[in-house]
Chain A
Amino acid sequence: MRGDERTSHRAVIGLILRRLGRLVLTVMLISTVVFLTVRVIPGDPARTIAGMDAGEPAVESLRIRLGLDRPLWRQYLGWLWDTLRFDFGTSFFSQEPVLRLILDRFPLTALLAVASFLLSLLVAIPIGVIAAVKRWTVWDGLGLMFAQVGMAIPSFWLAILLLMLFSVRLGLLPLFGADSVAHWILPVVTLATERAAVLVRFVRASMVEELEKEYVLAADARGLPHLRVRFSHALRNALMPVVTIAGIQFGYLLGGAVIVEQVFSLPGLGRLFLSAIVARDFPLIQGGVVFIAVVFSLSNCAADLVSAAVNPRLRVG
C-alpha cells in the first residue's frame, strides 16, 4: 500500500517534470517562430511610430534607437539571452517594460477567463446531464437548442445585444469602464455562453455513453435508487473526459477575450496584444507570445493533473 503511494507520487513528479521540459521547448520554438515572423512580414515599427510626417532620416534614426539596424542574428541572440534572464525588454511604442505591461493586464483577463470558465461549467454540466438523463424528451431538446444557439451566436453580436438590453434599455449595468463587479457581469456572461454551449454537447455525449454501460443497467436492475446511480456513479465517470476538454477550453478563453474586451472597453491582455500586433511592437508581441504559451501549457498541465487525480488509471505511466 505505502509502496504504491510512493510510486504514484514519483509518477506525478515525473509527469510534472516531463511537462515542464516540454513547456520550455514549446515556448522556445514558438517564440523563435514569432521572432522571425514579425520581421519577415511587411510593416516597419520605426515607420509606424514616425507616421506620415517624418522624413526618411527621422525614420532611420528611430530604427537605430530601436536596435532594428542590427543584423538579424544579432537581434535574435540578444533577444534570446534577455528572454532566458526573464528580461522581455521595453515596448517600442510606450517605452514601458513589457513584463509590467503584461502583468498589469493579466489579472483582469485571468479573472474574466476564470469567472466565465466556472460559469460555463455551472451551466453546462446540469444542462448536459439533464439532457442525457431525459434523453429524447423536451428537456433534451431544450438543452440541445441552447447548445446550438449558443455556438451559432457570434460573441460580438451577443455582447452588443446584452449591452443594448441591460445597459441602454434597462440602465441596470454600466456601458463602459472596468471599475466594479457590475462591469464584469456582461463580459463574463458573453464569454461563458459560447463555452457552455460547446461543453453541453460534451457532457451530454459523455453521460449518454456512461448511462448505457452495464454497471448502470446492473445497478438499476438491483433496484438501487435511480437518481443516486445517475448522479453519484455515472456522473463522476462521465466528467472525466469533460475535464480534459475544459482545460483546453480555458486556454481558448484567453483568446476569446479579445472581442469581449473590445466591445466592453475592458483593459485586458487581448487588446494589449492586438494593438501590439497592429503597431508591430516587436518586444511586446514576443513577450506576449511567450507569456500566453506558458499560461496555455500550464493550464493544460493542470488539466492533466486533475484528470490523474480523478482517474487512478492515469497515474502510472
Chain B
Amino acid sequence: MKTTLSLALAVCTLVAAAPAFGAGGREAASAQPATLQFALSGNPNTLDPHATAGTLTFQVLRSVYDTLVEPDESGRIVPALAESWGVSADGLHWTFHLRSGVQFHNGDEFTSKDVVATFARLRDPGRASTHAAEFAAVTAVEALDRYTVQFSLERPHAPLLSALASGWSAILPQRLIANGHDFGGSPVGTGPFVFEQWMRDNRITLSRNERYWIEGQPAVARVNFNIITEVAVQVQGLLTGDLHIIDMVGPTDIARIERNPATRLDTGLSSLVMVMAINTRRPPLSDVRIRRALNHAVDKQTILDVAYAGGRPIGTFMDAGDPFALDLAHLHPHDPERARALIREAGGVNRVLDLVLPQNFEPHVRAGEMYQQMLAQAGIEAQIRLVDWSTWLSDVYGAANFDLTVIGHTGKLDPDGRFSLFETDRNYVGWSHPEIPRLLQAARLESEFAGRREYFAEIQRLLAEEVPFVFVGTNYRFIAMRETIHGFHMDGKLDTYDLRRVRFR
C-alpha cells in the first residue's frame, strides 16, 4: 500500500512537471495563435494525388496544391492557376491561359510544361491512377506557349472542367516529376501552404506560402493537421481549446457544442446520397413493384434523424443540395399499407433477404437495423450480415453478392460522375436503362446549364420510377470550431477544406 502511495506521489510529481512539455494550445487559445490546430479523423494513405481515392488525402492536399480551376463557395467553377479559358466551336479543344509569376514551393516557376507533365503522370497507364478514367476523352495535352495549354478531346466532354477542379487534378512541378520525386511522402505544389512534415498517424504540418498568388492569403502562419481517431478526444480538445477545428462530431455532442459560447457548429448539407441499394438481378427484387414497396416501407425522415443526425429526404440518385437536383421524394411517401399491397400484387417476397452492412460505418449500421424493422412492418424479412469495409468494396460493391445494402454515395462536381455508374448495368445494383447512355452522351456534348439540366432531369426521373435503390436522403455534415475562427469554408461537393481565408478573431 505504501508503494501505491509513493507511486501515486511519483505520478503527481511527473504530472506537476508536465505543463512544461504540454501542448501550447491552452494558453494560445486566448491570444492570437500562430498555428491552426485542425483535427483530422484519420491518417491519409499517401499524399500523392494520383495514387488514391481517399478523401483524407485531398483534404490535406487542398492546402498544398492548386488546380487550374476551382469551385467557388456556390460551387461555380472559377479561375485558379488558369486565369481564363475557352472552348473551340466544335467543343474539341479547350485552351487554358495560365497565371504568370506563380512559384512552386521549391522555387520553380509555374508554366505550361508543368501542366503537361502533371496530366501525363495522371494518365500514365502504368500508374493506374483511379481517376484517370475521367480524362478518357482527352487525346492530348499540349503547351502552345509558356503560359498556354491546350486539351484536345476525341469528342466534346462538358464534365472536363469539373474534373480539372477536383483534387486529383492538382498541378505538380515538372522538374520533380522528371526526377521521380516522392510526392506520396513530401508533396510540392503552388498552394497556399508549404508542406513541412508528416509524422504518420500523428500530425501533418504545413506553413504559410509567403509567395502565394492571392494577395494577403493565407492568413494563418501554420496549420497542424492532428490525426485523432477518437471522436471523444476531438470534442474534448475543441472544448479545452487545444483544437480549433474538428472534423468529427458525434450525434450526442451537437447540443453541447452549440450550447458552449466558445464553440460553434458549421452545418450544411453534405453531398452524399444515402441509399439502401437493391440488387435488381435477384428475384423478387428484379420486380419493380417490390422495389417500390421497399421505398414505401421506409420512413426516410426518421432514418435521417436517428441514424444520420438529420438531413433532407430525396427521391432519386442526386444529393438534395445539387443545382441539378430534382425533388422527387413525393413519389414514394412512407406508406406501409401501400407497400404491403404492392408486395401482394407482385406475388410476395418468399425468402429472407440478405441485408449487408459495412460495420466500420456506425451510422449505416444503425440505419440498417432500422430498415430491418421497417421492412418487417411491411411483411418483408431481412437478415443482417455485417462485413468490413474492404469486404464490402470487393464482395458487395464489386461482386454484387447481396440483396440489400446500406451506403452513401459521395458527391461529384458534375452529375456526370454520379450517373455514369448506370451507363451499363454492370454496376452493383445491376440496373441500367436503354435511354441512359444516350442521355449521358447528350449531356456531355451540351455545354449550356439549361440544356444539361433537361438531360439530367430525365435520368433522375428514370431512376425515381425504376427505383434500383431506396433513396433516403442527404444528411447534414458537421464541422465544429472555436468561436474565434473565421473564414472557414468547405468545398461542398469535394468534401475538402479551404483554409486560405481562415483567421482568428
**Which residue from B1, B7, B14, B203 sits with its C-beta under 8 Å from A142?**
B1
Q: Do residues A267 and B130 form an inter-chain contact, with CB atoms below 8 A?
A: no
Closest to A265 in B: B228
**Which residue from A123, A180, A263, A280 sits with its C-beta under 8 Å from B230?**
A263
Q: Do residues B15 and A267 form an inter-chain contact, with CB atoms below 8 A?
A: no
Of B170-178, B211-219, B382-390, B489-497, the one with at least 4 CB within 8 A of chain A: B382-390
Q: Do residues B387 and A42 form an inter-chain contact, with CB atoms below 8 A?
A: yes
**Which residue from B7, B48, B125, B230 sits with its C-beta under 8 Å from A265?**
B230
Q: Do residues A176 and B7 form an inter-chain contact, with CB atoms below 8 A?
A: no
Given A47-B398, A53-B130, A172-B15: A163 and B233 within 8 A (CB)?
yes
A131-B326 Cα distance, complex, nearest whole Å: 74
User: Which chain B residues (390-414) contact chain A, with CB distance < 8 Å?
Assistant: 390-391, 393-395, 397-398, 407, 409-410
Q: How far is the CB of B480 from chain A (nearest CB, A)?
A: 15
A-side contacts of B239, CB under 8 Å: 168
Q: How far is the CB of A235 from chain B (nearest CB, A)?
A: 14
A57-B131 Cα distance, complex, nearest whole Å: 12
User: Which chain B residues (158-204) contact chain A, with CB distance < 8 Å?
Assistant: 184-185, 199-203
Closest to A55 in B: B133
Q: Is B19 an interface residue (CB 8 A)?
A: yes
User: Which chain B residues (11-53) contact chain A, with CB distance < 8 Å?
Assistant: 11, 14-16, 18-23, 26, 43, 45-46, 48, 51-53
Closest to B183 in A: A95
A100-B240 Cα distance, complex, nearest whole Å: 36
A44-B243 Cα distance, complex, nearest whole Å: 36
**Which residue from A45, A139, A261 sits with its C-beta under 8 Å from B1?**
A139
Q: Do residues B229 and A265 form an inter-chain contact, with CB atoms below 8 A?
A: yes
A172-B203 Cα distance, complex, nearest whole Å: 21
Given A95-B184, A160-B232: A50 and B1 within 8 A (CB)?
no
Given A267-B199, A275-B43: A164 and B389 within 8 A (CB)?
no
Q: Do residues A182 and B21 form an inter-chain contact, with CB atoms below 8 A?
A: yes
Q: Do residues B236 and A47 form an inter-chain contact, with CB atoms below 8 A?
A: no
Q: Is A75 an interface residue (CB 8 A)?
A: no
Q: Is A88 an interface residue (CB 8 A)?
A: no
Q: Is B375 an interface residue (CB 8 A)?
A: no
Interface membership of chain A positions 260-301, coded 1 if the CB is closer than 8 angstroms to chain B and 0 otherwise: 011101111001100100111000000000000000000000
Q: Is A256 an interface residue (CB 8 A)?
A: no
Q: Do residues B228 and A62 form an inter-chain contact, with CB atoms below 8 A?
A: no
A122-B43 Cα distance, complex, nearest whole Å: 35
Q: Is B341 an interface residue (CB 8 A)?
A: no
A-side contacts of B236, CB under 8 Å: 163-164, 167-168, 175
Closest to B22 in A: A174
Q: Is B70 an interface residue (CB 8 A)?
A: no
A-side contacts of B426, CB under 8 Å: 56
Interface membership of chain A positions 239-271, coded 1 if the CB is closer than 8 angstroms to chain B and 0 otherwise: 000000000000000000000011101111001
Given A178-B202, A182-B21: A58 and B4 within 8 A (CB)?
no
Closest to B236 in A: A168
A178-B7 Cα distance, complex, nearest whole Å: 23
Closest to B226 in A: A176
Given A265-B202, A265-B227: A176 and B242 within 8 A (CB)?
yes
A-side contacts of B360, CB under 8 Å: 278
Q: Which residue, A143, A175, A180, has most C-beta atoms of chain B within 10 A? A: A175
Q: Is B267 an interface residue (CB 8 A)?
A: no
Closest to B390 in A: A43
Q: Do residues B390 and A44 form an inter-chain contact, with CB atoms below 8 A?
A: yes
Q: Do residues B229 and A185 form an inter-chain contact, with CB atoms below 8 A?
A: no
A63-B60 Cα distance, complex, nearest whole Å: 27
Q: How far is the CB of B318 from chain A (nearest CB, A)?
A: 16
Interface membership of chain A positions 140-156, coded 1 if the CB is closer than 8 angstroms to chain B and 0 otherwise: 00110010000000000
Q: How far is the CB of B237 from chain A (nearest CB, A)?
A: 5
Q: Do residues A43 and B391 form an inter-chain contact, with CB atoms below 8 A?
A: yes
A245-B360 Cα distance, complex, nearest whole Å: 36
Q: Is B254 an interface residue (CB 8 A)?
A: no
**Which residue from A65, A95, A175, A183 sits with its C-beta under 8 Å from B48?**
A95
B-side contacts of A98, CB under 8 Å: none
Given A122-B7, A171-B240, A175-B236: A262 and B229 within 8 A (CB)?
yes
Q: Do residues B226 and A168 form an inter-chain contact, with CB atoms below 8 A?
A: no
Q: Is A61 an interface residue (CB 8 A)?
A: yes
Q: Is A14 an interface residue (CB 8 A)?
A: no
A127-B1 Cα distance, complex, nearest whole Å: 7
A96-B433 Cα distance, complex, nearest whole Å: 44
A31-B4 Cα distance, complex, nearest whole Å: 42
Q: How far is the CB of A289 from chain B (nearest CB, A)?
A: 17
Closest to A138 in B: B1
**Which residue from B19, B125, B229, B417 sits with its C-beta under 8 Å from A53?**
B417
Q: Which residue, A52, A167, A180, A183, has most C-beta atoms of chain B within 10 A? A: A52
Q: Is A133 an interface residue (CB 8 A)?
A: no
Q: How far is the CB of A43 from chain B (nearest CB, A)?
A: 3
Q: Is B126 an interface residue (CB 8 A)?
A: yes
Given A58-B130, A58-B132, A177-B202: A48 and B393 within 8 A (CB)?
yes
Q: Is A49 an interface residue (CB 8 A)?
A: yes
Q: Is B3 an interface residue (CB 8 A)?
A: yes
Q: How far is the CB of A196 from chain B (nearest CB, A)?
A: 10
Q: How far is the CB of B181 from chain A (nearest CB, A)?
A: 13
B-side contacts of A232, CB under 8 Å: none
B-side contacts of A37, CB under 8 Å: none
Q: Which residue, B11, B18, B199, has most C-beta atoms of chain A within 10 A? A: B18
Q: Do residues A175 and B23 form an inter-chain contact, with CB atoms below 8 A?
A: yes
Q: Is A40 an interface residue (CB 8 A)?
A: no
Q: Which residue, B48, B237, B391, B393, has most C-beta atoms of chain A within 10 A? A: B393
Q: Is B140 an interface residue (CB 8 A)?
A: no
Interface membership of chain B positions 115-148, coded 1 if the CB is closer than 8 angstroms to chain A and 0 otherwise: 0000000000111101111000000000000000
User: Which chain B residues (52-93) contact chain A, with CB distance < 8 Å?
Assistant: 52-54
B-side contacts of A122, CB under 8 Å: 3, 7
Q: Do residues B22 and A42 form an inter-chain contact, with CB atoms below 8 A?
A: no
- List 10 additional A-B contacts (Cβ < 8 Å) besides A65-B126, A93-B52: A47-B397, A48-B393, A51-B54, A52-B407, A130-B1, A146-B4, A175-B233, A262-B229, A268-B201, A275-B201
A-B contact pairs, 14 of them (CB 8 A): A52-B393, A95-B48, A95-B51, A96-B184, A146-B4, A164-B236, A167-B236, A167-B240, A172-B15, A177-B23, A182-B19, A185-B11, A262-B230, A267-B227
Residues of A within 8 A of B (CB): 41-45, 47-59, 61-62, 64-65, 93-96, 101, 104-105, 122-123, 126-127, 130, 139, 142-143, 146, 160, 163-164, 166-168, 170-183, 185, 189, 261-263, 265-268, 271-272, 275, 278-280
Top 8 A-B pairs, shortest CB-CB distance: A51-B53, A43-B390, A180-B21, A267-B201, A44-B394, A182-B21, A126-B3, A267-B202
